[in-house]
Chain A
């Protein structure tokens, strides 16, 4: 693996292999010494053009647990605010000897521009680009589902036979896109539930079932219900009348949680708007994997960085 830009590029076997390595990395977190020497002497740059706490901290923790050096770069307070281009920033990082660059950018496609530009030779990891993809989030979601379903027998397995319902703002969600591709590749059935205004054009070509009514979806049952954040910062038009109406029709409240049954896994990529798309009762229930998702995020990102950076660099194909 040279770059991780999209979950659409991953084959089933590649995806399962990443999840299996993540299992080994998760074991490290239970030990006395939570550190591995595998990436000693490598430099990982976190290049964040957009605000983030958990993704950046998660990548930082992952790189440090593998003994890599970490440089954090955020656009605020850097030369980017003076108008420096992506090209010049990339060349600066290349000159500093970065082995991997973890990029978050408000524009879809920015990481793949970096990967194909020739400005920098480092491995590129997409940590969220615009409304395109967020592959490590989808990998950690798949990892969390697989661990909950199969426990210690999870290694080597995919998610065939599992139904995952993703609810909310599909239109702006890179998490939803990455999950649709990855979960489908892993054999799961994906169902999307959203107000029609929050579904993208061309969705009929996605390998998913589409619904508009959360109550119907709850009655139909699902192994996993994944609630998406209402992204206020991207809501530049009137997609729904108001927050209360959204919450009543598409929010996971206590009543819907009770109807889902105790075996359904409730997920949220965070940060949560409690009381809007998910009630506090649902977020803190035993079915909720919100905190597991955060700790699994470190293991999955360790696996990705390890697979990207250890070994001889693959030649450009």
Chain B
């Protein structure tokens, strides 16, 4: 089955805009807010959401990257994975509201690893989860707080997220057996 595009660039921008408003609303402003993206596409999304929040509120939001490679539970089942850099904003995360940002939420195992990684860096006041796509099939009791788009999918299908900053084109497609 050929892949079919489900979200165009404009749809992605709209979803991110709504998520930025929702994050602002639930946090009642930008106080103590930190966005941490999970490499690679989560980092780009975190930066974009932070930029939008700055536009709407006039206040800047610290962003960073949280690499979860060394905390994964499937390290010994796959070929060696090379970690990406972790960048935590200079103020640290203790007592802050940390919003984890990723592109696709699937089994929930990446987020489990991210929560463990976060615990070794500090102790945030609250941790929230923002994902661009929630495709279902959770294997752990984890749920997102901010969702760009719910995409019910079959486990055989592939969700493909492309972002301009990384891929030079922007859309989300579904289908094509992986």
Q: Which residues of A contact B (CB under 8 A)?
A: 1, 17, 20-21, 23-24, 27, 31-33, 35-38, 155, 306-307, 310-312
Contact = CB atoms under 8 A, between A and B. Distances in A.
Contacts of B70: 24, 36-38, 306
Contact of B85 (A33, A37, A155): A155
A27 B121 CA distance: 11
Interface in B86-125: 86, 116, 119-122
A311 B120 contact: no
Contact of A20 (B78, B82, B121): B82
B78 A23 contact: no
B120 A312 contact: no
Contacts of B80: 1, 306-307, 310-311
Contact of B75 (A17, A33, A311): A311
A36 B76 contact: no
Contacts of B81: 310-311
A32 B86 contact: no
A21 B71 contact: no
A27 B86 contact: yes
B82 A36 contact: no
A304 to B, nearest CB: 12
Interface residues of B, number: 20
Nearest to A311: B80
A310 B121 contact: no
Interface string B53-73: 000000000000001001100
B83 interface: yes
Given A1-B80, A32-B120, A312-B77, 14 more contacts: A20-B82, A23-B85, A24-B84, A27-B86, A32-B121, A33-B120, A33-B121, A36-B70, A36-B71, A38-B75, A306-B70, A310-B75, A311-B81, A312-B78
B116 to A, nearest CB: 7
A20 to B, nearest CB: 7
B79 interface: yes
A27 B75 CA distance: 20
A17 B82 CA distance: 8
A36 B76 CA distance: 15
B121 A31 contact: yes
A310 B80 CA distance: 6
29 contacts: A20-B82, A21-B82, A23-B85, A24-B70, A24-B83, A24-B84, A24-B85, A31-B121, A32-B120, A32-B122, A33-B119, A33-B121, A36-B120, A38-B71, A38-B75, A155-B85, A306-B70, A306-B80, A307-B80, A310-B76, A310-B80, A310-B81, A311-B78, A311-B80, A311-B81, A312-B76, A312-B77, A312-B78, A312-B79
Contacts of B78: 311-312
Q: 3 closest pairs, A vs B, by CB?
A: A311-B80, A33-B120, A38-B70
A55 B119 CA distance: 30
Nearest to B72: A38
Contacts of A312: 76-79
A5 B25 CA distance: 57
A310 B82 CA distance: 10
A23 B85 CA distance: 8
Contacts of A307: 80
Contacts of B119: 33
Nearest to A42: B76
